């Protein structure tokens, strides 16, 4: 599902919610959401968030602080099961962090 690119401020704390259908139940899993300008460098990351699969859809909270302003960041989600990367997902949307400098007022 495609959505509008969200706009956040640099350093702002946000929590993404990923709904994951991991089957079967009782598997040791991790989810890591990360933002990147170039697709390889992790400019911001939640780190690996551990969870145990339930066998049905479950929502995982992924807290992160937004990176520096002035860029559109690609959004990635990596899911590991028992330490093995199962899916490396890239979202359709980007996260936009505007660069806003001090205003200049002239009279």
**pLDDT values of the chain reduced to their tens digit, one per residue, 107 residues:** 456 899 999 999 999 999 999 999 999 999 999 999 999 999 999 999 999 999 999 999 999 999 999 999 999 999 999 999 999 999 999 999 998 777 788 88
Residue 3 is predicted with a pLDDT of: 64
What's the predicted TM-score (pTM) here? 0.87
What does each C-alpha distance from 91 to 68, 100, 105 come to in angstroms?
A: 20, 26, 40
Residue 105 is predicted with a pLDDT of: 82
């Amino acid at each position: 599902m495609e959505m509008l690119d969200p706009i956040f401020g640099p350093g702002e704390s946000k929590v993404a919610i990923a709904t994951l259908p991991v089957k079967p139940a009782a598997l040791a899993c991790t989810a890591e959401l990360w933002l990147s300008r170039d697709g390889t460098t992790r400019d911001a990351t939640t780190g690996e968030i551990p969870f145990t699969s339930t066998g049905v859809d479950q929502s995982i909270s992924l807290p992160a602080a937004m990176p520096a302003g002035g860029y559109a960041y690609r959004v990635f989600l990596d899911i590991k099961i028992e330490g093995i990367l199962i899916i490396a997902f890239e979202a359709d949307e980007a996260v936009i962090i505007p660069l806003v400098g001090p205003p200049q007022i002239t009279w």
